[in-house]
Chain A
Amino acid sequence: MEPLIHTTTYGDILRLTGPEWILVITALVVLAASFIRSTTSSAPCSTRTLTWISLAGTVLAGGVLLFNQPLGIVKGDVFFVSEGTRWVKLGILLLAALSLWLHLGTEKRLNHQGEFHALLLFAVVGMLLLVGADHLILVFIALELTALSLYVLTGFEKNKSISSQTAYKYFLIGSVSAALLLYGFSLIYGVSGHMHLTDIQLAIASKPADSLLALGLVMALAGFGFKIAAAPFHMWAPDVYQTAPTPVSSLIASASKVAGFFVLGRFLWGGFAGHAGSIQWTNWTSGWLPMLGLLACLSMLIGNLSALKQMNLRRLLAYSAVAHSGYALLGITSPEPLGPSSVSFYMLTYGISIVGMFGLLQILDQNGGAGDFKSLEGLRFKSGWMAACLMILILSMAGIPPMVGFLAKFNLFIAALKGSTEPMGLILLVVLALGASAVSLYYYLKILKTAFCTDQAEGDQSIQINTYQFTLVSFTVIGVIILGLFPGPILSRLTHAIGI
């Protein structure tokens, strides 16, 4: 391992933020390229070229991260790079690349492709910064960079009124939550006198519980809760999933969740470990853990129960994502290294399966489906490959072995149980999560039942699948199986890296 850099010089800062810079430059290149190409050749070709450029940038950023990334802290503890953040960032880049790949398969062409790609890359830059942020202001800026890009992307089909409406809704709720977050941060600053998580930790460690601090934390949690779509701050999710362009939904559902959960865990444990409180069944004390527990319970219950009656597949996935956020919040209750590593593993593997699901939905849409259960009818006969992929991805999300979803969830539960000071302290939450999983199996099986147990419709035409879609979905399916069968190396590496 290279020596830690602790620096203020610009050269070193540039090296520490290498992947972020590469993405920013790629975004600018893409913007510029879109102007050059649009005058000379037809639109579809240039769109694919733009996507390829963005993908190349993402891969380059990943390569730098993997092979040539020094570890270190920017002086003043604003931004840091550790083994743990490297792995999480790699995961985010992988999910972003998959979402871009999904865009390659899109046959519906929108205008302003240069801006589309640039915004998408800026959102990814925001996520990467978020993972390394150690300073409240940087956390806020990175969150807003991601969120503002995503608001615009959500409303990208601006000639469709439903699309603008959703983006507006997303933006309104999002800006309120940003305001809450900022106000919470200011209260935390007022109480502790610091903006760095470690300093805050030191400053408030000696203080007794403070009602202003509590208010600040509640507001900050509400703000974060919006980003990770935890109930009751999840109202935007179903609309956004349903109407945003598929690659955007897939990015929101996968990569942005990974970043959001990672920073939430570090914010709470890095800055406020002393005020965690306890939600063990024998010993209940106030702090932020009970709040987190409440969010987890609400998310699991509301998410799963609302998903039961959804008829639109994207809305169903959105509500199930709320439930998945609830499970992942269980992992946040556990300190380093078990908590963050299990949550990151969970969100990464969940991200892979949800990107695959969006790939399948895109194929269905392009073959004239309305995105509801009806479009799945007779899928078994139309395309055996799609039906098999659907089954594997859905079973992974439902947490059935040998797919990775089961192991990731199991790992999360073990982390939550081990993380509390008294063994089995969080057993009630885990019991609730297991019960919620049983409920979720109902709607997941309903999807599979529609795909497998309906009869062949008359005059069925086969389904058109392009190479990009085929490779994307196959990749996610194979990933879900391989990670499920051989999770050992990645899991221990992640735990080890975050533990350093």
Chain B
Amino acid sequence: MLGWTVYISFISALGCFLCPSKRPDLSRHLALFATVISAFVALFCAASYTPIDGNPVVDVTKWNWIPSLGISYYLAADGISIVMVVLTGIASVAAVLFSWNIEDRANEFFGFFLILIGGVYGVFISFDLFLLFVFYEIAIIPKYFLIAIWGSTKKSYGAMKLVLYSFAGSSMALIGIMGAFIVSGGVSFDLNQLILHPYTPEFQEWAFPVTFIGFVILAGLWPFHTWAPTGHVAAPTGASMLLAGVVMKLGAYGALRVPMTLFPMGAAMWREELALLAGIGIVAGALVALVQNDFKFIIGYSSVSHMGFVLLGLLATTETGLNGAVLQMFSHGILAGLLFAVVGRMIYSRTHTRDINKLATMQLGRQFPFTAAVFLLASLASVGLPGFSGFVAELHVITGAWASYSYLALMAGTGVVIGVAYSMRALIRVFWSVDSDSNRPLQTTLPGLTIQEKAGATLLIITSLVVGIYPRLLLDIIAPSLQSPLLKPLLDQGNTL
């Protein structure tokens, strides 16, 4: 049933392309319908997910696709996939709601949008590595058009940079995938088969870093992160919500699913160097965010910083770290979407400027109390206020990293503190600067919030709150998957540290 998330998205994408371009409302409603149905499918599958006979990997579909190359159309899910699929469902509904104002060529916009979403769903539930790669590539190209057609601020440059980085990264990942296939005898791309082959340490030593970096380029690992801020800034709101919300997660998920699963010894050889890069990313991203004046760049760099936590959690290679990484992926997916929604849609589309010094004069806090409250909650949640999802996630990551490399845990902690600083700076400048003194009358009136914006924001905040208050909702799904034969070798390596 989980496969329907993919099919619904692709079929509706085709439907959107066929909608007349003069009727934006048709494609809009179709996109909303498709994403809501997919989200319900995802939630239903999450609710009914039970490991069979202690094996957390539950098969969905298996079909011999290209026998001569040992490729099967193999969809399956374990707890980590389930969590990511739920994230995709919620984030995509919100992103459609925040794209409600797209009028120009709306049918194409939602068509590309749904192809992207379908590709993302597909990556999360593919257990055949060729299939995973196919979906991974399918998710790359729509991003180009979403940004280059409907974007702003150097959109061609941002789009091309993003796509070339993604493509270069995926090529590196492909080398690792092909290597694993060839070295294991060239029989099958099925992950469950590939994992059985004992890869030599010499092979893992080069295959791991190539594949890992290939994937995490998309997750914004420092110093390969520069596509992220430019791409996010150039993208239209809905697309940057998806980019930061789920597409960056593709990279982290792929890194966990492919190189870390297949080459655990390689992971043990390289994790400290790579974890250091992740730690630098946390601090550097936060520091750069602290000095930006473009509101969207602040959020863009904060994404780099927060994705650093995901990577640090992964590279801690402890159970707590992995739990934290998956939680952080979920949490950041929700919160980054929310932050981009506030900046891109609730503010920029009304004020037509993102310069926080100019925004400071617009008395936004008084004009849009709802927006201000949403941004306050979202930034507090993402810097780790207890009660929200960010807190549990970052706590897990830092605890997990502490067990492996305590100095990096300290670095991450510093990153949290700087995170508070840049969030508060943006918050106060934009919404409650001195200029917006409550005694002065309102100088300009901007159009009010639409019902879709309120609904989308509420959806995301409630999700974050629910996970923050009761994280076991996700942890109970994730935890058994960490004990599976897929991840056991990795955790064994982690325990030897």
Binding site for B on A (CB under 8 A): 388, 395, 400-402, 406-407, 410-411, 413-414, 417-418, 423-424, 427, 430-431, 434-435, 437-438, 441-442, 445, 448-449, 452-453, 487-488, 491-492, 495
Contact = CB atoms under 8 A, between A and B. Distances in A.
Contacts of B148: 449, 452-453
B69 interface: yes
B175 A431 contact: yes
B197 to A, nearest CB: 12
Nearest to B151: A453
Interface residues of B, number: 35
Interface of A (DSSP majority class): helix
Given A414-B186, A430-B178, A434-B174, A401 B160 contact: no
Chain B interface mostly helix, strand, loop or mixed? helix
Contacts of A395: 141
A449 B144 CA distance: 9
B135 to A, nearest CB: 8
A485 B145 CA distance: 23
Contacts of A400: 137-138, 140-141
A445 B182 contact: no
Nearest to B105: A380
Interface stretch (B47-55, B163-171, B398-406): B163-171
Given A418-B182, A434-B171, A434-B174, A445 B160 contact: yes
Given A417-B182, A423-B183, A445-B163, A438 B171 contact: yes
Interface string B454-482: 00000000000000000000000000000
B68 A437 contact: no
A453 B144 CA distance: 10
B160 A423 contact: no
B65 interface: yes
A472 to B, nearest CB: 22
Interface in B15-44: 17
B69 A491 contact: yes
Interface in B94-152: 130, 133-134, 137-138, 140-141, 144-145, 148-149
B148 to A, nearest CB: 5
Contact of A438 (B64, B68, B69, B168): B168
B66 A487 contact: yes
Q: Which 7 pairs show the lowest CB-CB distances between chains A and B?
A: A434-B171, A492-B68, A401-B134, A488-B66, A453-B148, A417-B182, A438-B168
Contacts of A487: 66
Contacts of B66: 407, 487-488, 491-492
Contacts of A492: 66-68
B182 A449 contact: no
B375 interface: no
B182 A414 contact: yes
Contacts of A453: 145, 148-149, 156
8 contacts: A388-B17, A414-B181, A423-B182, A434-B172, A435-B171, A445-B163, A453-B145, A453-B148
Contacts of A445: 144, 160, 163
A438 B149 contact: no
B179 interface: yes
Nearest to A484: B134
B149 A452 contact: yes
B164 A441 contact: yes
Given A400-B138, A434-B174, A488-B65, 17 more contacts: A402-B138, A406-B137, A410-B178, A414-B69, A414-B181, A417-B178, A418-B186, A435-B168, A441-B163, A441-B167, A445-B160, A452-B145, A453-B148, A488-B64, A488-B67, A492-B68, A495-B68
